[in-house]
Amino acid sequence: MTVYSIGLGPGDHELLTIKAKRILEESDIVVVPQSDSKGRSVAKEIILNYINKSKIFMYYIPMTNDKEELSRRYQELAEIIRRHCSEGKKVCYVTMGDPTIYSTSNYLTERLKKLNIQVKHIPGISSVNAASTLLGVPLCIKGENFGVYEMPSSTEKAVEFINRHPTTVFMKVDRRLPVLIEAIKKVSPRSAYLAKRLGLEDEEVYDLLNGGAPKEGVYLSIAVIKK
Ligand SMILES: C[S@@+](CC[C@H](N)C(=O)[O-])C[C@H]1O[C@@H](n2cnc3c(N)ncnc32)[C@H](O)[C@@H]1O
């Protein structure tokens, strides 16, 4: 039994790979893990450009730190997928960006493997790449490296991370935007941008060094800092 874990890219439906499109089309069931209790899902909007909604199976995984609840949900979803597979259905599940980076797919994949289901990953364009290319800022040039971090909760940690590499990317900035702004004041980097909802209709880019910043943190925002 094999299922596919598909990366959908950052939001623009044209940034899906040809392979991902083919597997979506060939699947009988496309599982969309959804964290919004009202059922809103950017992933669903993307795949509706390629497949009929009758193939989509939405499954709610709440944004919570309750590990038991999350474990129960992933296990239940893995068992649902196994049932479909054993009925001979072709199943795939999708995630925004790349499936191996801060993604629900990582947890689901673990559960499926324990149920002896083989998982094949189809890479997606990560928001890390989408942000750097949109900004036209190289992530690294010869002899350099770059760091990608989940936005820390303390300014000290953020400063430490920025100082480690020529380029630093912070994901999941969201409500920790004030920490980022504070860290930038301390480091005075060459450039610091925040990109919000890349590839979507309300995409926006903020130049954090020149006073540009959203009034409050927004979900789906990523920062690229050049020291
Ligand atoms: C749960 S992680 C998923 C990352 C995803 N797997 C990837 O490879 O981009 C969500 C975080 O990714 C970043 N992100 C994903 N899509 C984005 C987008 N369209 N615009 C800006 N940031 C995005 C944000 O930092 C967001 O908080």
Structure confidence by residue, pLDDT tens digits, 97-109: 999 999 989 999 9
Question: In this structure, is the dihedral angle defined by the CA atoms of residues 219, 122, 70 and 129, taken in order, positive or negative?
Answer: negative
Report d(CA 93, CA 147) in Å as an integer.
Answer: 28
What is the CATH code for 127-226?
A: 3.30.950.10
Q: What is the pTM of this model?
A: 0.93
What is the model's pLDDT at position 219? 81
Boundaries of every domain in the chain:
2-122, 127-226
What is the model's pLDDT at position 64? 86
* Residues of the chain where predicted confidence (pLDDT) is lower than 70: none
Give the number of the atom of ligand 1 that is nearest the alpha carbon of residue 219: 27
What is the model's pLDDT at position 165? 96
* CA of residue 9 to ligand 1 center, whole Å: 9
* Residue 126 beta carbon below 6 angstroms from any ligand 1 atom: yes
Q: Which residue has the tokens 């060094």?
A: 209
Superfamily of domain 2-122: Tetrapyrrole methylase, N-terminal domain (3.40.1010.10)
pLDDT digits (tens, 9 = 90+) for 52-69: 999 999 999 988 889 999
* Residue 103 beta carbon below 6 angstroms from any ligand 1 atom: yes
